[in-house]
Amino acid sequence: MSFITERWGSQPIVDDVNALYRLYRDDKSSGVDHIVGQKGVLTLDRLPAILDPSDPTSSQQDKIQSVYDNCIALLDIDRKATPFKQLQGTLFKEAFESDVLRGQVYPDVFESVDLWTQSNASVYIYSSGSIAAQKLLFGNCGPTTQADQKQQAAINLLPKFKGHFDTTIGSKIESTSYTNIINQIDSATADTTLFVTDSQKEALAASQSNLNVAISIRPGNTPLDESLTQQIKSINPSVSTITSFIDLFNHYTFQQQ
């Protein structure tokens, strides 16, 4: 909350907060009684209100507190809403540029990305985080402790990627989003494209668009739901599960399209 307090009134924060307020207002007038995130459902009567940023009768501190409370509620249910992710992106930008944060990726990711590069395979990122946030994370990978950061420079993975997508192209749990992505990538087809995710709902949506799908199982991930597993396999019998990106090379052949 201190970050927003210190920068309240700056243009990036003004734009992000206004967008978040419009999202809150749209939710309240939508006619439904709840909102859905990837980790749960929140009824609108429990959604913290965001005070109108332009209302002169509310104090600045009260407005900031209302934004903070609303964001915590959205974070708790892991809601993939673009205005919320835009504000996160602004927060990340400051933290990465000041070297407070480093992007954390599993060690096998570095090796896998190098192997994909060697095979001329095109690698894209599709994340609920904004494209700006993606570039900050993957452009500044490495240790997070100040002591380690002094000894090791950040690693930039961005040159390894062909492009980025976020929720402006569509929700990750809607099949049309994956069709939209395929249509935007030159020479790409669904049957020659692999989507890797740790979310079964995303795996289901991608399968409905006929993509090849691998579900990544990592420590701390939500356990797989058997009913969702069966639903995915009924559409995509070849769906695979992996515990490391290196496993992908045992299931698929990668080459330039």
CB environment 16-28: b (16+ within 10 A), e (fewer): bbebbbebbeebe
Integer Cα distance of 112 and 101 in angstroms: 23
The DSSP letter of residue 145 is: S
Against a cut of 0.75, is the pTM above it? Answer: no
Sole residue written with tokens 């396999």: 233
Q: What is the pLDDT along the chain (257 residues), one digit of tens a residue?
A: 788 898 899 999 999 999 999 999 999 999 999 999 988 999 999 999 999 999 999 999 999 999 999 999 999 999 989 899 889 888 888 888 887 788 999 999 999 999 999 999 999 999 988 898 899 999 999 855 554 555 578 899 999 999 999 999 999 999 999 999 999 998 889 999 999 999 999 999 999 999 999 999 999 888 999 999 999 999 999 999 999 999 999 999 998 76
CB environment 145-178: b (16+ within 10 A), e (fewer): eeeebeeeeeeebeeebeebbbbebbbbbbbebb
Domains and CATH numbers, the chain: 2-79 (no CATH), 107-251 (3.40.50.1000)
Dihedral sign (CA 128, 129, 132, 134): negative
Sole residue written with tokens 């990106």: 245
Integer Cα distance of 67 and 257 in angstroms: 45
